[in-house]
Amino acid sequence: MKALCLQPLALPDQLADLAVEALIDEADLSPKPGLVDRRGSGAHGDMNLALMHASALSLWPCLRQMAEAAQRHGEIAAPLRAELGRLGREGEAAMLATTAGVNTHRGAIWALGLLVAARALSPLSSDPHTLAARAGRLALIDDPAAPAQDSHGTQVRRRYGAGGAREQAQQGFPAITGHALPQLWRSRAAGASETHARLDALLAIMASLGDTCVLWRAGQQGLDALQQGARAVLDAGGSASLAGRRQLRALDARLLQLNASPGGAADLLAACLFLDKAGSL
Ligand X SMILES: CC(C)(COP(=O)(O)OP(=O)(O)OC[C@H]1O[C@@H](n2cnc3c(N)ncnc32)[C@H](O)[C@@H]1O)[C@@H](O)C(=O)NCCC(=O)NCCS
Ligand Y SMILES: Nc1ncnc2c1ncn2[C@@H]1O[C@H](COP(=O)(O)OP(=O)(O)OP(=O)(O)O)[C@@H](O)[C@H]1O
What residues from 41 to 60 belong to the interface with ligand Y (CB under 6 A)? Answer: 42, 44, 47, 52
Question: Which of ligand Y, ligand X, none lies near 168, with the C-beta cut-off 5 to 8 A by kind?
Answer: ligand X
Cβ closest to ligand X, residue 199 vs residue 209: 209
Helix axes 106-121, 60-73, angle to 10 degrees: 30
By beta-carbon proximity to ligand X, the closer residue of 163 and 237 is 163
> Taking CB positions, which residue lies at the least distance from ligand X?
153
Q: Distance between CA 36 and CA 148 in Å, rounded?
A: 30
Residue 165 identity (one-letter amino acid): A
Q: How many whole angstroms separate alpha carbon 238 and alpha carbon 197?
A: 9
212 contributes a contact to ligand Y by CB under 6 A: no
Question: Does residue 35 belong to the site contacting ligand Y (CB under 6 A)?
Answer: yes
Going from the C-alpha of 4 to that of each of 10, 154, 209, the distances in angstroms are 18, 53, 48
Return the one option of ligand X, ligand Y, none that residue 33 interacts with (CB less than 5 to 8 A, by type). Answer: none
Among 200, 211, 267, 276, binds ligand Y (CB under 6 A): 267
Which positions lie near ligand X, rule CB under 6 A? 84-85, 88-89, 106-107, 110, 113-114, 143, 146, 149, 151-154, 164-166, 168, 209-213, 263-264, 267-268
CB < 8 Å & 24+ apart, contacts of 50-53 = 51/99, 51/102, 51/104, 52/23, 52/24, 52/27, 52/104, 52/105, 53/24, 53/27
Instruction: Name which of 91 and 263 has its Cβ closer to ligand Y.
Output: 263
Return the one option of ligand X, ligand Y, none that residue 83 interacts with (CB less than 5 to 8 A, by type): none
Cβ at position 163, least distance to ligand X in Å: 6
Among 58, 183, 187, 261, binds ligand Y (CB under 6 A): 261
Q: Report the C-alpha gap between 277 and 106 in whole angstroms.
A: 22
Give the binding range for ligand Y (CB under 6 A) out of 6-14, 92-100, 101-109, 239-247: 101-109
- 3-state SS assignment for residue 37: strand
Distance CA 163, CA 153 (A): 9
Q: In whole angstroms, give the CA distance from residue 235 to residue 226.
A: 14
Q: How far is the CB of 59 from ligand Y (least distance, A)?
A: 10
Enumerate the H helices of the chain as residue ranges: 11-28, 49-58, 60-73, 78-99, 106-121, 128-139, 152-160, 165-170, 174, 181-189, 194-206, 212-235, 242-258, 263-278
245 binds ligand Y (CB under 6 A): no
CB of 57 to ligand X, least distance (A): 18
103 counts as binding ligand Y under rule CB under 6 A: yes
Q: Which residues bind ligand Y (CB under 6 A)?
A: 26-27, 35-36, 42, 44, 47, 52, 103-108, 152, 213, 216-217, 261, 263, 266-267
